[in-house]
Amino acid sequence: MDPKHKTLFIALALFLVLALAGCATQKDLDALQRDTNNTTKELLALQRNLYDLNAEIKNLSGKIDTLGKKTDDLQQETAAVSKETKTKFGSLEKTMETSNQPMRRHQADLGAQLDKLQMDLQNLMGRFEESKYFAQKTFEETKTLKENYQGKFDDFDKRMASLQKSVEEREKKIEAQEKEAKEAKETKTGVEPEEGKPGASPAKGEPSPGEPPAKKAEKPDKKTQATPDETYKKAYDQFTKGEIEGAKGSFKKFLELYPKSKYAENAHFWLGECYFSEKKFDEAILEFDEVIKKYPKGNKVPDALFRQGMAFLEMKDSTNAKLILKEVIKRFPKSDQANRARKKLKELG
């Protein structure tokens, strides 16, 4: 209970008690009256304060309602802005996704073209190395052949000089014999023998009696069989010129004639490339497998493995293609073929 109300209640109770008791004096009643009046004034003041407080509360309540309404409006605006933002953001994401798709396809195409260029470059490097080897070998063989022929020419010159010397000595001897015979005949008969008659000496440049005729030139030997290097070079040149059918037959012939040649590994690989060019991917895979099995430490094994994977990929067999490409990375992690295999696996996903 409020202290003021409590005081008023006590004063009224005391007034009633004194009135009923009849023992209160006029002075006490006046004092009580004054207290009552003061209390009444205080109550009136308290009522005014309470009224003002109610007015303020009502005013504050109105402001709170207005603020609540503004808050609701602000929430609605925020929700609308949020919805619009989400819509625009979703549209932007779709636009970006649509814009990125051609870029991704372009990147994939560029990756494929880069792989093809790298593969072509490697093939060209391999061809260059082989061509360089054959050129060096041809140069050395030509040099050796030239030296051999030079030796033969020198020997021939010596023989010709010796033969010329022998002919000159024979001519001098014949001239001396003719001179002696002529002088002897002149001394005996005084008549000079005529050329062509019995006793006449042979004409200059003709073989003397009893001298065997010169041997006819011997017929050259039949053409010898081509060497392994020449046979392989012929097949490889056909392949580089795009004569795939001819190159394929030449490589097969080479492998039949020289299965243990140092070029047998390369011949199997390029034969596989011939099949690959003809889109005979089964035969290409089998030929590349010959390289892998027969020459596990050969320099063409990484290429053969990678090309096997590409052949499987051309056959739409992505499972085996991925297995082969992973095998390339596992066995030859630092090779160019391993780098291309990683890019291809990334494209396949």
Identify whether the C-beta of residue 134 lies closer than 8 Å to the C-beta of residue 233.
Answer: yes
Segment 244-264 mean pLDDT: 95
pLDDT at position 102, please?
75
What residue numbers bound the domain in which 137 lies? 131-183
**b/e for 80-96, b at 16 or more Cβ within 10 A?**
eeeeeeeeeeeeeeeee
pLDDT at position 289, please?
96
Question: Which range, of 59-63, 81-85, 166-170, 302-306, averages the lowest pLDDT?
Answer: 166-170
Task: Pick from 154-158, 160-164, 188-192, 279-283 the range whose average pLDDT is largest.
Answer: 279-283
- Domain with residue 287: its CATH number is 1.25.40.10
Using 50, 70 and 90 to split pLDDT, how confident is the model at 306?
A: very high
- In a domain, residue 54? The reply is no
Same domain, 233 and 148: no
Residue given tokens 């009552």 in the structure block: 36
Q: How far is CA 258 from CA 90, 141, 265, in A?
A: 69, 21, 11
Same domain, 175 and 239: no
Residue given tokens 């003061």 in the structure block: 38
- In a domain, residue 249? The reply is yes
Mean pLDDT of the chain: 78
Q: Which residue intervals of the chain are DSSP H helices?
A: 3-21, 26-188, 228-240, 244-257, 264-277, 281-294, 301-314, 318-331, 336-348
- In a domain, residue 264? The reply is yes
Q: How many residues does the chain have?
A: 349
181 closest CA partner among 170, 192, 171:
192
User: pLDDT by residue (tens digit) across 31-55?
Assistant: 878 888 888 888 888 888 888 888 8
pTM: 0.42
State how far the Cα of 2 lies from the Cα of 49, in Å rounded to an integer. 14
Task: Pick from 148-162, 195-209, 263-277 the range whose average pLDDT is largest.
Answer: 263-277
pLDDT, greater one: 258 or 71: 258
Same domain, 250 and 159: no
Encoded tokens for 82: 């949020």
pLDDT at position 186, please?
67
Domains contained in the chain, number: 2
Same domain, 339 and 237: yes
State how far the Cα of 166 lies from the Cα of 178, in Å rounded to an integer. 18
Torsion of CA 256, 121, 125, 262, to 10 degrees: -20
User: pLDDT by residue (tens digit) across 159-171?
Assistant: 666 666 766 777 7
